[in-house]
Chain A
Amino acid sequence: MHSRMVSTVVDISEACDNRGIAKSGADESYGFNIWRNTFPAESLPAPGSSVAVAGVTFEFPARESGRGDNIRCRGQLLPLPAVRPDWLYLLGAAERRTEDEVELHYADGAVRTAWLRMSDFWPETAAWFGEPEAFRTSGLRYPRHTHDGHRPAIWQQRIPVTVAGELTALRLPDNPAMHVFALTAVREPGVRDAS
């Protein structure tokens, strides 16, 4: 992590509603995409792990909640800890690349719009939005087998908080092609610190 960064990991496990990471033989409730493909669990850290991705610490995959390991974006409101972030960093991926607006909710009641962009998770597909690659698994899991060497990706993306202030919540877009696995609020003390 950059020495000036102050990271606050956000627990999103309560909002997770999609099972995108699976062990071999998982039941029909698993399926990252509409074809019920999943990321092989053995290629990724254990649930609740603290991992560093491109200089930012995340909790990934989300701790066990019984409901899932990622959020399929449908306009959920995610409460944020009382911090004044400069960036909201995310781990995620999309079913075909996509972009959409999120709403940043401030402690003073203000709401400001920002963009969230997410590249495709599909193997042999580059990050169209230029995100750093967070994870690329050894294969892609299908409902009845795993295709080794067919390697999907999870990306690191970030949302700028261009107006400084304490955030209370993040409204995700109503865009079910977009999945969020992890969220970390990052502050850079001394940078654009007008208040």
Chain B
Amino acid sequence: MRVELAPVAPWRHELGHCLHATAGVLLAHRGLDPQIVLGAGWGFHYPGDLRREEYYLPGHAEDLFAGLAPHHGLHSRWHTPAGPDEGWQEVRAELCAGRPVAVAADNFHLPFRPAYRDVHTNHLMVVHGFDDEAGEAYVTDPVPPAYQGPLPLAALTAARDSGNPVRHDRDMFFTANPIGNRWLSWEATDPQPPFTPEFVAEVVARNVRGLTDPADRRTSGLPGLRAYLDGAWERLPDAPDVVDEVFIVAGPVLAVSGLHGDFLDRAGREFGDRRLRELARLVARVTHHWSALRIAVATARTDRAAALPALRRRSDRVIVSYEQVLAALHGHLSGLSPTAHSFGPERTSKRQTDGLPAEVAQ
């Protein structure tokens, strides 16, 4: 029997990891727009649930799609087969039902990955078909070097059943975590919200509310981010693992920020809202601070105490950059958007500020 689902197109955001790329492929196959669905949410939530997985999303490890798309009613769950045979039969059944599947895989066993036969790591990609007679699966992996095509079933099985051991010091962050033949299923509520100025305004208002007035100020929103970074730097001198932890957390937070900037920019472009495009650029500045912080902590491993002043300075700049964006977004939602730079009619969203905390306003 042979199944090759179509269309299954590679999709990737340049700041995203394999989680966003895989989700984007799956969403697009079901007719959803990855940039809109994955870019709408913007927040911070880290309850300390760290996992050494390339596809880790802080606070949402068990329901990744809920974290990826909080405004679109998506949910996902992991399946943990007893072994490789059961693992393949489950994936095969999904493919026969017309659903491409996200599978966890160790790059060490994947010939198209640079880590092939070199180092182990915990990756995520899409399986979109199989050919029983040829003994092949068809996979889509948009993470550079992007690959879409056949993969010997034996290689896929080895990658999915890998113990993901530590080998060399090459992969510092995502090893020592068995793959376990896991695969992911997901679902979306119907109908999906249309991409309209009203929807964007509602999304922005909810994001601002979540960042400024989160349900749990210890782990979420801007207060949670500030508390997390302050606490991390307190622990850093005596706890080498903090380097890995902050790096792993920063990666998806950076990606989400990058996606949200593009979401706002697209909304501004499609709806003729110049101010929204300016706000998108402000969000990008937050993203670029995360780039700096992520590498600053990753390079602090050998002399953590000496790195503390720079890490604290950058953390302050990350927080300030959020505060600036939030104040500007609040101004936009209030209909106070400056129009001096607009050369034509500018659409501004209807007021969405009811219920926003006062400290957001400037």
Binding site for B on A (CB under 8 A): 34-36, 72, 74, 94-100, 120, 122-126, 128, 140, 142-145, 147, 149-150, 173-178
Would you call B118 and A142 a contact (CB within 8 A)?
A: yes
A18 to chain B, nearest CB (A): 10
In the complex, residue of chain B having the shortest beta-carbon distance to the beta carbon of A123: B144
Residues of B242-270 at the interface with A, using a CB-CB cut-off of 8 Å, are 254
Please provide the 5 A-B residue pairs with the shortest distance between their CB atoms, ordered closest to farther. A98-B291, A177-B295, A124-B144, A96-B291, A147-B114
In the complex, residue of chain B having the shortest beta-carbon distance to the beta carbon of A152: B144
Residues on A with C-beta less than 8 A from B341 are none
Would you call A150 and B14 a contact (CB within 8 A)?
A: no
B2 lies within 8 A of chain A by Cβ: no
Residues of B194-225 at the interface with A, using a CB-CB cut-off of 8 Å, are none
Residues on A with C-beta less than 8 A from B114 are 140, 142, 145, 147, 150
Interface size, B (range): 20 to 34
In the complex, residue of chain A having the shortest beta-carbon distance to the beta carbon of B287: A97
Would you call A97 and B145 a contact (CB within 8 A)?
A: no
Would you call B298 and A100 a contact (CB within 8 A)?
A: no
Would you call B170 and A177 a contact (CB within 8 A)?
A: no
The residue that B295 contacts in the complex, of A95, A144, A145, A147, with Cβ under 8 A, is: A95
Bound complex: CA of A96 vs CA of B255, how far in Å? Answer: 10
Would you call B299 and A124 a contact (CB within 8 A)?
A: no
Would you call B294 and A177 a contact (CB within 8 A)?
A: yes
Bound complex: CA of A149 vs CA of B113, how far in Å? Answer: 12
In the complex, residue of chain A having the shortest beta-carbon distance to the beta carbon of B293: A177
Known contacts A34-B299, A36-B170, A174-B310; decide if A126 and B14 are in contact (CB<8 Å).
yes
Would you call A147 and B292 a contact (CB within 8 A)?
A: no
Name 8 interchain pairs, CB-CB below 8 A, sorted by A: A35-B170, A74-B310, A97-B15, A125-B144, A143-B168, A149-B145, A176-B295, A177-B295
B208 to chain A, nearest CB (A): 23
Known contacts A34-B298, A176-B296; decide if A97 and B118 are in contact (CB<8 Å).
no
Residues on A with C-beta less than 8 A from B310 are 74, 174
Residues of B292-320 at the interface with A, using a CB-CB cut-off of 8 Å, are 292, 294-296, 298-299, 310, 313-314
Bound complex: CA of A125 vs CA of B144, how far in Å? Answer: 9
Known contacts A34-B299, A144-B118; decide if A96 and B294 are in contact (CB<8 Å).
yes
B146 lies within 8 A of chain A by Cβ: yes
Residues on B with C-beta less than 8 A from A94 are 291
Bound complex: CA of A145 vs CA of B15, how far in Å? Answer: 25
Residues on A with C-beta less than 8 A from B15 are 96-97
B37 to chain A, nearest CB (A): 22
Bound complex: CA of A176 vs CA of B297, how far in Å? Answer: 9
B288 lies within 8 A of chain A by Cβ: yes
Bound complex: CA of A123 vs CA of B142, how far in Å? Answer: 12
Bound complex: CA of A55 vs CA of B291, how far in Å? Answer: 30
Bound complex: CA of A124 vs CA of B10, how far in Å? Answer: 13
Known contacts A124-B144, A124-B146, A128-B14; decide if A95 and B291 are in contact (CB<8 Å).
yes
Residues on A with C-beta less than 8 A from B144 are 122-125, 150
Residues on A with C-beta less than 8 A from B79 are none
In the complex, residue of chain B having the shortest beta-carbon distance to the beta carbon of A146: B114
Bound complex: CA of A80 vs CA of B12, how far in Å? Answer: 41
Bound complex: CA of A36 vs CA of B171, how far in Å? Answer: 10
Residues on A with C-beta less than 8 A from B287 are 97
Would you call A177 and B291 a contact (CB within 8 A)?
A: yes
The residue that A96 contacts in the complex, of B118, B254, B299, with Cβ under 8 A, is: B254
In the complex, residue of chain B having the shortest beta-carbon distance to the beta carbon of A148: B145
Known contacts A99-B285, A100-B288, A143-B170; decide if A125 and B14 are in contact (CB<8 Å).
yes
Known contacts A128-B14, A142-B118, A145-B118; decide if A175 and B145 are in contact (CB<8 Å).
no
Residues on B with C-beta less than 8 A from A96 are 15, 254, 291, 294-295
Would you call A34 and B170 a contact (CB within 8 A)?
A: no
Residues on A with C-beta less than 8 A from B313 are 174
Bound complex: CA of A35 vs CA of B285, how far in Å? Answer: 25
Residues on B with C-beta less than 8 A from A34 are 172, 295, 298-299
A133 to chain B, nearest CB (A): 15
Bound complex: CA of A72 vs CA of B292, how far in Å? Answer: 11
Residues on A with C-beta less than 8 A from B314 are 174-175
Would you call A99 and B170 a contact (CB within 8 A)?
A: no
Bound complex: CA of A124 vs CA of B147, how far in Å? Answer: 12
B114 to chain A, nearest CB (A): 4
A141 to chain B, nearest CB (A): 10
